[in-house]
Chains A and B, each alone.
Chain A
Amino acid sequence: MKKLLLFIIGGITFSVASRAQFSEFQNNIGTSPFTLSSDNNTFQIGGRVSFYYQNRFLKSNEDNLKHNGFDVKDADLNFLGKTANKFTYEFHLSVIDLATAAATGNTANPANPGIKAAYLQYTGFPVYIKFGYDKLPFSQGSLSEVYGTPMWSHANLYGGDLFARRDIGLTLQSRLWKNRINLYGGIYSGMGENFFEYGNDASGRFEYVARAEFCYPGKMKYHVIDEENSPVLQFRVAANARYEDKTQPNAGNVLTSYPDMPGAYGIRMLNGKRGVYGGDAVVKYRGISATFETDIVRMQPASINDPLYNTSSTTLNGKYVNAGGYCAGLNYNWEALHSVFSVMYEDFNANDLAVNSSSSHMSGEQAWLYLGYAYKVNGFNSVFKAEYYRPAIESASLNPLKYYGQIRIGYQVVF
């Protein structure tokens, strides 16, 4: 039933939907999809296949080797079309996520339902109008495609546990001053990737998202790696914010009504108000790129007995729970060697009221170090990637780990 629902929703959305500002298949270097064209339409079929071997270095006394072995990272299909009357539509499907959702009843990875984009956009006005399901205009790390980096997955800060990366809704976009200023605004269901599972929630209220970017000296795409080997220093700084009030009617319970929605730390949705604000920046020059992002989640659960408060007193918590942190990265694209080297560090706290059971002090903080290498046979279109990451600070209360490091080595083909 789940599989059927996913396909029906995807089909309906595609039939009415899909300029593709976040498209992984429109602006990227080296991709080689197939394109059909008629008098008034151009239709591109592309995709991505990748797999890796992963090995976790387990702590002593741990013997579960479930995460030591092969895994399919991507088996994606993408359909991107443009019409002569200035409509763009896109449908991006993760076959592996659909299969996983169908086989497990959407329990294995509910935040990855298998549909990554299904929208229609009109680009005939100075303000582009997009309706449908796609990435939200929030967080540089989320908007940048991870497949164009040596890493295999996004950092935890913006990977989807603190806030949803995709949702269905209406997005407006406008560019000013020779495209140096880029503005987004939109309203969305607030249900994120779980919209396909639950539809809209009982509160009947939307999530509001806005983002403002400034690029200099010219416009920039959402590419982390400086594959252009920028001959002049270019940078982008951005600020973004989002807000939702999901206070449920009749004291409804989010955890029972939408159990997959709150996510790993229970903060992607709550019965109450929630705002996220942050900023990010990227600098590129001669193959070197540096990134920085910070995001702060400020939550106000409707009930003072909400588990997010961790039984703290209102004197201590002030009726707010906070989460967030920062992530910084440094990359070097050595084109002569077809190689990219990356290092990334993040430090975040998923709940500032988390209490360590052993020391009884607040200890939701965790930090991670990532090292990545990519050998580009044909850009990131055909590439060998190796990634190693390890916790620098572990949160025993929010994310107790059974390992002290993990390596992933694999190959990726984008067509």
Chain B
Amino acid sequence: MLLSSWQKVKPHSQLKFEHSRSLKHIPEPSGIAYDSTTDHLFIVSDHGILFECDNQGNILRRAEKEGMDFEGVEIKDSFVYVSDESPRKVYQYRKSDLSLVKEYSVSWGGAINKAFESITYNHIKNCFLLVSQSPVVIVEYDTNFHETKRFRFRSARDISDAKWYNGSLYLLSALDETIFKCDPTSYEIKESFKINILNPEGLAFDREGNLIITSDDMQKIYFFKNLPHN
């Protein structure tokens, strides 16, 4: 399925972060997820490591099972799901002890490092979403990671993370320095927000809806206030 091309939505004025912190012990941080039950952050590294951190990014523990190139992370129920980009795998970790529960293989034929940078869960369609970096394709999977549907997303040059929040899908484009708020079923863009971060790779919302972004090149975590709304 092809999403309407070149959707033109006037972006909100550029968002300014409130403060930032160095993630000096998390090499090349990528995806990030917020766990509202513990107020913890889960951050993955390009070096194939899953970290559990406090709400300021301080490391609490790390998963023993490592991968090759972790890029996306999402929390669903009592599990943490991680997308390993290069080998096209999804790892299911138990949130309580970060032990590996299961590995899933997913398919993406494109470039070795332009595959699934993002993983999130669509709570309306009850499916996982994996989003390729470039070209951007939103792929729906059932809970056993069997592919069910694909959507081509042509409104951004790349997508480096995706998160479900408050009934909408949010996509983060590093090259276009933009966050897109998308319709939960059609994935058409409803709103967009410009940001001012170098190489943003991870996107999360805390329980108050405050925005959190990680930057790979800067090895930092940035804290914003809530997104403005029309």
Tell me the A residues contacting B by CB distance below 8 Å: 25-27, 29-35, 37, 39-42, 44, 46, 80, 82, 84, 86, 178-179, 217-220, 227-232, 234, 379
Q: Which of B109, B195, B197 has the most A CB atoms < 10 Å from its CB?
A: B109
A218 close to B111 (CB less than 8 A): no
Neighbouring A residues of B115 by C-beta, 8 Å: 35
Rounded to whole Å, the gap between the CB of B30 and the closest CB of chain A is 13
B113 / chain A contacts, CB cutoff of 8 Å: 26-27
For residue B141, give the distance in angstroms from its CB to the closest CB of chain A. Answer: 16
B197 contacts across to A, CB distance below 8 A: 231
Residues on the B chain within 8 Å of A42, using CB: 68, 86-88, 112
A228/B111 in contact, CB under 8 A: no
- How would you classify the secondary structure of chain B's contact residues: helix, strand, loop or mixed? loop
* A217-B112 contact in complex given A29-B134, A42-B87, A178-B24, C-beta closer than 8 Å: no
Q: Which of B169-203 contact A (CB under 8 A)?
A: 174-175, 177, 195-199
Which residues of B (69-96) have their CB < 8 Å from a CB of A?
69, 86-88
Please give me the 7 A-B residue pairs with the lowest Cβ-Cβ distance, nearest first: A218-B217, A44-B112, A178-B219, A218-B218, A37-B88, A231-B196, A42-B86
B11 at the interface (CB under 8 A from A): no
Given contacts A178-B22, A218-B199, A228-B175, contact A46 B88 (CB under 8 A): no
| Complex interface: chain A residues within 8 A of B198 (CB) | 217-218, 228, 230-232, 234
Chain B positions within 8 Å of A219 at CB level: 217
Q: How far is the CA of A339 from the CA of B129 in the complex (A)?
A: 33
Q: Residue on B with the closest CB to A35?
A: B112
- Residues from chain A with Cβ under 8 Å of B218 in the complex: 178, 217-218
Are A227 and B111 CB-contacts (below 8 A) given A178-B22, A220-B217, A234-B198?
no
Any chain A CB within 8 A of the CB of B120? no
Chain B hits for A26, CB < 8 A:
112-113
- A121 → B minimal CB distance (Å): 14
B45 within 8 A of A: no
Against A, the Cβ 8 Å flags (1 = close, 0 = not) of B128-148 are: 000000110000000000000
5 further A-B contacts with Cβ under 8 Å, apart from A33-B110, A229-B177, A231-B198, are A27-B113, A29-B175, A40-B87, A82-B87, A178-B219
**Interchain CB contact under 8 A, B87 and A179:** no
Cβ contact within 8 Å between B177 and A34: no
Tell which of A33, A218, A227 touches B112, judged by Cβ atoms closer than 8 Å.
Answer: A33
Cα A27 to Cα B158 in complex, Å, equals 13
Tell me the complex Cα distance, A229–B27, Å: 24
CA distance A234 to B218 in the complex (A): 11
Contact A82 B86 (CB under 8 A): yes
Minimum C-beta distance from A240 to chain B (A): 22
A-B contact pairs, 6 of them (CB 8 A): A29-B157, A40-B87, A80-B112, A179-B28, A220-B217, A228-B175
Q: Which residue of A lies closest to B135 (CB)?
A: A32
Residues of B near A84 (CB, < 8 A) are 68, 87
CB B64 to nearest CB in A, in angstroms, measures 15
Say yes or no: is B114 at the interface (Cβ < 8 Å to chain A).
yes
**When the two chains form their complex, are residues B177 and A231 in contact, meaning their CB atoms are under 8 A apart?**
yes
Contact A32 B88 (CB under 8 A): no
B219 touches A218 (CB 8 A): yes
| Nearest-Cβ distance from residue B88 to partner chain A, whole angstroms | 5
In the assembled complex, the Cα of A32 lies from the Cα of B133 at a distance in Å of: 11
A45 to chain B, nearest CB (A): 10
Smallest distance from the beta carbon of A169 to chain B beta carbons, Å? 25
In B47-71, the 8 Å CB interface with A consists of: 68-69
Assembly CA distance A44 to B87 (angstroms): 11
Q: Which residue of A lies closest to B215 (CB)?
A: A218
Interface positions, chain B 200-227, Cβ under 8 Å from A, are 215-219
Least CB distance from A42 to B in Å reads 5
Interface presence of B165 (CB below 8 A):
no
For B88, B112, B113, which residue has the most chain A Cβ atoms within 10 angstroms? B112
B151 within 8 A of partner (CB): no
Whether the Cβ atoms of B196 and A33 lie closer than 8 Å is no
- In the bound complex, how far is the Cα of B108 from the Cα of A82, in angstroms? 15
- In the complex, how many angstroms separate the beta carbon of A213 from the nearest chain B beta carbon? 14
Among A25, A27, A217, A229, find the residue whose CB has the most chain B CB atoms closer than 10 A.
A217
Contact indicator B110/A82 (Cβ below 8 Å) = no
Asked if A228 and B112 sit within 8 Å, CB to CB, the answer is no
Contact residues in B for A27 (Cβ distance below 8 Å): 113
Contact (A179, B219) CB under 8 Å given A29-B175, A229-B177: yes
**In the complex, chain A residues whose CB is within 8 Å of the CB of B27:** 179
- Taking the closest CB of chain B, its distance from the CB of A179, in whole angstroms, is 7
> For residue A40, which residue of chain B has the nearest CB?
B87
Question: Which chain A residues border B112 with CB–CB below 8 Å?
Answer: 26, 33, 35, 42, 44, 80, 82
Inter-chain contact A379/B215, CB cutoff 8 Å: no
CA distance A217 to B217 in the complex (A): 8
- C-alpha spacing A234/B86, complex, angstroms: 28
Q: How many Å from the CB of A57 to the closest CB on chain B?
A: 38
Given contacts A32-B111, A42-B87, A42-B112, are A228 and B219 in contact (CB under 8 A)?
A: no
In the assembled complex, which residues on chain A have CB atoms less than 8 Å from the CB atom of B88?
35, 37, 42
Tell whether, in the assembled complex, residue A228 and residue B174 are in contact, meaning their CB atoms are under 8 Å apart: yes
B158 and chain A: residue at smallest CB distance: A29
Contact of A35 among B24, B68, B110 (CB under 8 A): B110
A44 vs B175: C-alpha distance when bound (angstroms): 23
Known contacts: A84-B68, A179-B28. The answer to whether A46 contacts B86 by CB under 8 A is no
Q: Is the CB of B219 within 8 A of A46?
A: no
Chain B residues lying within 8 Å of A41, measured Cβ to Cβ, are 87
